[in-house]
Amino acid sequence: MLPAFTSLRHLATNRMRRAASEFRMTVPWGEIRGQVWGPSNGRPVLCLHGWADNCGTFNSLIPLLPKDWRFVAIDFPGHGLSSHRPDGCFYNFPLYAADVRRVVEALQWKRFSIMGHSMGGNVAGTFSALYPEMIDAVVLLDTYGFLPTQVTDIFKNLRKGITDQIQYDNKTEERKERVYTYEKAKERLKAANPSLSDQSADILLERAIREVEGGFVFTRDFRINLKNTVSYNMEQCLHMMSQVKAPVMILLAKDGLFKTFALPDGYVDLILKSWANQKATIVNVEGDHHIHLNKPESMASIITDFLQSHSPVKPQSESNNNQSSKL
């Protein structure tokens, strides 16, 4: 490994301040990777990163949360160090929710808290609606948990997603990984994510690139950039929202995602009204889309207070299951 990259790994490890062990589990197409903090019998919290990021997005935040909790942060398939999906397969939200189900099955978690940033928050919302009996609390970081799409756009997106996938599959011989110097890779990452600080970019690059002859290549699967083939309209999103039974907290950054990613007129008000009807806690914080990574101290106590106020009461048999979780 190049000396410069080794030192950057050391920098990121120092910033974490708490040792994290590597999570690995086998899936039919390879493995899902991630990181684990805290004792095996601690309160289980599953952490889900945003689109094109990786589980390193929680490296700054988790060290500021209770040390006696058990945090597992995964790299979604096609991201970070997790395997890419098989050739010909799509990336979409239902499949990510299925990935979460595989992970908690391997962990033997029967009930747990879930925290997601951006896309990961939308997966957390979907999973919490599908499996409400498994979730005791939900924390959404700069996301509403559901991303409604106008009906006319649903079918346009489906057509484009299918076309994009087939075109990609037909260009096998033309695909070539681009090799970057570390600094050029960092520039590209920051260009795609202007909210990232230098240190935050270094943390994400821990799992976002791998070393090859002549430099570094990105680990993520290019197919995550293709148009998502599965989306939901407002009626479907509101129905799924109603299925979430756990307490929910939504942390919205004032200069975050939805300042640059606009939803159709009226959508935000309707979503927030629906969450308010379910007594969700909605908190606005100063910062940008990656505030949890750039300045985690601004929200760590908010998250801790919320989760502590909704501490799960688990039967003894369930506690025993958590203590024997497989990693």
Give the three-class secondary structure for 191: helix
Task: Tell me the Cα Rg of the chain.
Answer: 19
| Sign of the alpha-carbon dihedral angle for 304, 57, 137, 280 | positive
Exposure string over 295-307, b if 16+ CB within 10 A, otherwise e: bbeebbeebeebb
Q: What is the 3-state secondary structure (H, E, C) of 181-235?
A: CHHHHHHHHHHHCCCCCHHHHHHHHHHHEEEECCEEEECCCHHHHCCCCCCECHH
State the residue for tokens 């009996």.
133
Q: Give which of 216, 209, 226 is closest to 179, Cα–Cα.
A: 216
User: CA-to-CA distance for 13 and 19, rounded, in angstroms?
Assistant: 8
* Closest by Cα among 113, 33, 19 to 67: 19
Catalytic residue ranges: 118
Q: Tell me the C-alpha distance between 82 and 98, whole Å.
A: 15
End-to-end CA, the chain? 27
